[in-house]
Every structure is written in structure tokens, then in C-alpha cells.
Amino acid sequence: MRQALIVFTKVPRKGDIKTRLTKEKGGILTPEEAKILYEACLLDVIEVAMAACEDEGAELWICHDAAGDGAYLQSLLKSLAHPEKVKGVFADRGGSFDDCMQFAADYILKPQEETRKADSVIIIGGDLPTLQPVTLKKAFTALARFSQSEAGREAVWQAGSHSTPDMGAALVEAPCQEGGFSLVGYTRTTPFDFYGVFYNSDGITALDMLVNKAVAKKIPFAALEMVPDIDIPIDLASIIPVLRSLELAAATDADVMVPRRTMAVLRELGLEATALPPER
């Protein structure tokens, strides 16, 4: 099975990236600092994705926002040790977050065999500095295993397939904070779309919507360990000790990848996590 991984990101731009971390929105960073931090995080995430894709024989793609400066993103990629490992960079078509995610997935899983780039796709964000290759490898493995399962083929049949499915349905996710998810992947035959996942009128969380869709279509489902993202100051405070622990673990475990750019920016900014003593 041909597998692909998409890093789904905004092109870093001052005043338009991680704004909830900025002082203007009640955070602690300037717009320039937020941009620099996200750039570091994005490049670290791409390197983790490269490592996992190389080990699994998957292709790595980057999808950026329609309004983003693609040339600037390409210039950032040149700072990587092996930018040639990125198969391609493309822009979404705009619209809601649901629309953009669906476009990114469809770009890879086009129904026409001659234009299809892969048989399964995994999508991650660029704000996951603790992400490790092992998590991505688990996601690839889960999709490959379920794609050959009887339950996966049955889900395709139940969704209205009129021929013997050559690949079963499968859905994999890794949760993040506040009922969201930081990784999602599925096969080309999976009866799933993103519409209503991020934007729905019932106040249902994104992860609950993902689960609801899997339940409704009886799609084999894999849940991985949590991979937190960074949206607000408490996310940043919570993740700093985890980053330090990864740095220590890497000294004795060659499989651990340290997000060195992200850690360098945090140290340059002088940011540390603290736990205040309880009031007496």
C-alpha cells in the first residue's frame, strides 16, 4: 500500500500565526516571537515526519494555507538538512477548516488511479514539538493492518461498494487537548470526510465527531497516544517540561528525536515552566 503523510500548516507570518500566544490576545509573546517559535516548531515536525516516512517508505507532502506565501515556505525548507525528502508542497483552496482538510486529503487520495498519489494519507499539524517518529510509524502500521482486515472490507461494502474492495476502510487518530486531535489518517476506500468535524452547530468536539463518523460507518479505528499542540500559553507551559524530558531521553535512546530548534528558541526567549505553590 502506498502511504503518504501531509504536514498541514499555515505559512508563518508575523501577526497571523499563533496569535493566542501573543500579548495582544492575553498571551506572553510578541507577534514576531510567536512567528519565530512556530517556524522552529514546524521545521522540527517536518524532520520527524521525514524520519518516519523514510523508514516506512512513505511520501512526505506539505499543504499550506491558500493565502500563505509559498515562496517563503520553500525558503524555510532549504534550511533543512535534506529538503529533497519533501515530495511536494501545495496550497489548499481556502474555505472552512473542514474544507481545507478535505482538500488536502483529496489531493493525495484522488479517485482516479492515474492521478492518485497514495492509497492512504496521514495528516498532522506543524505545532506538535513533542511528536516522535514512533507515533507516525504506529499510524502507518494501523492503516496498513486494517486495510487488509475483514472488518475494513465490510465497512467498504456497507458504504455501497458495488465490487469486491481491494482495500479495506481504516481510520487512525492521536488526540490532543480539549477534545481535539493532532493526527488523523485513513485509506482511500474509507467512507469518511471532514465535513462537520471542526465546524458543527451542535458544539460537538472534533474528536467526538471523528468517533461518531467511525461508529456510523463501522470503520476500524485506531487510537494512538496523545500528541499535544501549542495554541495558548498553558499549552506552552505544559509542553516545556516534556521537551526537557525528551532531551534527556535522547542521550540514551537513539530513536528519540529532540526538537532542537524549538528548544533553542524557548531558551533564547528565557521561557521556563513553573508550578506555583498553593496559597495558604
Predicted local distance difference test score (pLDDT) of residue 58: 98
Predicted local distance difference test score (pLDDT) of residue 164: 67
| Domain 3-268 falls under CATH 3.90.550.10 | yes
Predicted local distance difference test score (pLDDT) of residue 268: 96
How is residue 9 written as a grid cell?
500548516
pLDDT in tens, 116-169: 999 999 999 999 999 999 999 999 999 999 999 999 999 999 888 766 678 999
Predicted local distance difference test score (pLDDT) of residue 151: 95
DSSP H or E run through 36: helix 31-56
How is residue 55 written as a grid cell?
523508514
Predicted local distance difference test score (pLDDT) of residue 238: 95
For the chain, which residues make up each domain, given as ranges?
Answer: 3-268
In the sheet that holds 3-9, the strands lie side by side as 86-91, 59-64, 3-9, 120-125, 181-187, 171-175, 221-223
Give the number of other Cβ atoms within 10 Å of residue 216's Cβ: 10
Predicted local distance difference test score (pLDDT) of residue 162: 65
DSSP H or E run through 120: strand 120-125
Which stretches of the chain drop beneath a pLDDT of 50? none
DSSP H or E run through 223: strand 221-223
